[in-house]
Amino acid sequence: MIIEDAKIVSNELFSPEYGLIGIATEKLGKDFKAGQFLQMEIPGRPDLVLRRPMSPLRIKKRKSGWLIEVLYKLCGAGTRHLAGLAPAQDISVLGPLGRGFRAPVKGGEAVLVAGGTGLGPIFMLAEKLCSKHKVSFYYGAKCAAEIHIRSEIEKLPAKIVLCTDDGSLGGKGVVTDILSKQLIKNGGNPCIYACGPVPMLKAVQKLAVAQGLKLQVSLEERMGCGMGACLSCAVKSADGGYRMVCKDGPVFNADEMVL
């Protein structure tokens, strides 16, 4: 775990709601597992005292250091301010934090499911798994304008299934309906990995239970420290207690949690 004063090198708005920010770091980026996250300061806004927890979409090695790319949704004062920041701006980042996705057994098949900003950690996972595993990649959004980095997704050596609620791109309907048909058709014993809105995760969990498949989900909750100390980001576990998104997760085995 490292805290680093890094620099924004790119910040592109895909739509009024989504942006992709690129952050150049010196050390932070090494040994970053897909599904782990970083805590990002909102620079220039000391009144926003909490950092924003975000999972990278991609981490590339640079000549010196790393380039961390994060897909974000503009949903509050912090992310709206972030969207207005220009390259060369300093930004403090802390990570890698939490537990990432666990790979399937050797040679095992993986089914990846992303919804909305859940694309970030799922895309990063896809890039890691594709070389060693058979991967199917399901990605759903409201409409074509909210399907991001499509050309790069389509370059992945994986089976790609895109869908939109309004049918403006790919299959029409929610991603889990399409996933359900395919899972039944394909059979096998894949591990499922999902990140997205809670209704999507619930639907995927239902499918996994029905088919007896293993499912890992990446969860979200309002977070404080990101270090497992303040105990803010609790999520309910199946044993009646709570787990911390920041330290026990954000990736959990779905059967151990109450979604």
Partner 1 sequence: MAKRKVTTSNRKLRPDLNCDLGFMQLRNPLLIASGTFGYGNEYAELVPLNKLGGFVSKGTTLKPRVGNPTPRIWETASGVLNAIGLQNPGLDVFMRHVLPGLKLKGCKLVVNVAGETEEEYVEMARRLNFAREVAALEVNISCPNVAAGGISFGLKPKAAGELLTKVVKATRKPVIAKLTPNTSSYVKVALAAQSAGCAAVSLTNTFLGMAINLATERPALANVRGGLSGPAIKPLALHQVYEVAAAVDIPVIGIGGISTGQDAVEFMLAGAAAIQVGTALMSDPRSPLRVIDGIKDYMKERGYHQLTDFIGKANPGYLRRRIKLEN
Output 155 or 222, the one with its CB closest to partner 1. 222
Span interacting with partner 1, options 12-20, 128-136, 156-164, 235-243, rule CB under 8 A: 235-243
CA angle 188, 194, 199 (to 5 degrees): 115
CB-based contacts of 171, cutoff 8 Å, min separation 6: 161, 162, 163, 164, 178
Among residues 16, 187, 212, 240, the one that binds partner 1 under rule CB under 8 A: 240
C-beta of 208: minimal distance to partner 1 in Å? 24
Torsion angle, alpha carbons of 113, 118, 121, 124, to 10: 60
- Based on the shown chain and the rule CB under 8 A, indicate whether residue 1 belongs to the binding site for partner 1: yes
Among residues 22, 41, 79, 204, the one that binds partner 1 under rule CB under 8 A: 41
- Based on the shown chain and the rule CB under 8 A, indicate whether residue 223 belongs to the binding site for partner 1: yes
- 43 — phi, psi (to 5°)? -65, 145
What is the distance between the alpha carbons of residues 3 and 97, in angstroms, rounded to a whole number? 11
Output 31 or 187, the one with its CB closest to partner 1. 31
Among residues 43, 171, 197, 228, the one that binds partner 1 under rule CB under 8 A: 228
List binders of partner 1 among 59-98 (CB under 8 A).
Answer: 92, 94
- Based on the shown chain and the rule CB under 8 A, indicate whether residue 258 belongs to the binding site for partner 1: no
Output 107 or 241, the one with its CB closest to partner 1. 241
What is the distance between the alpha carbons of residues 80 and 74, in angstroms, rounded to a whole number? 5
What is the distance between the alpha carbons of residues 57 and 148, in angstroms, rounded to a whole number? 11
- Based on the shown chain and the rule CB under 8 A, indicate whether residue 243 belongs to the binding site for partner 1: no
List binders of partner 1 among 141-200 (CB under 8 A).
Answer: none
Among residues 149, 169, 213, 227, the one that binds partner 1 under rule CB under 8 A: 227
Give the position of tokens 């026990």. 248
- Based on the shown chain and the rule CB under 8 A, indicate whether residue 201 belongs to the binding site for partner 1: no
- 140 — phi, psi (to 5°)? -125, 150
C-beta of 179: minimal distance to partner 1 in Å? 28
- Based on the shown chain and the rule CB under 8 A, indicate whether residue 232 belongs to the binding site for partner 1: yes
Number of residues that bind partner 1 (CB under 8 A): 30
CA dihedral sign of residues 7, 34, 57, 97? negative
Burial class (CB in 10 A: 0-12, 13-18, 19+), 258: exposed
What is the distance between the alpha carbons of residues 126 and 169, in angstroms, rounded to a whole number? 21
Binding residues for partner 1, per CB under 8 A? Answer: 1, 3, 41, 46-51, 92, 94, 221-235, 240-242, 247
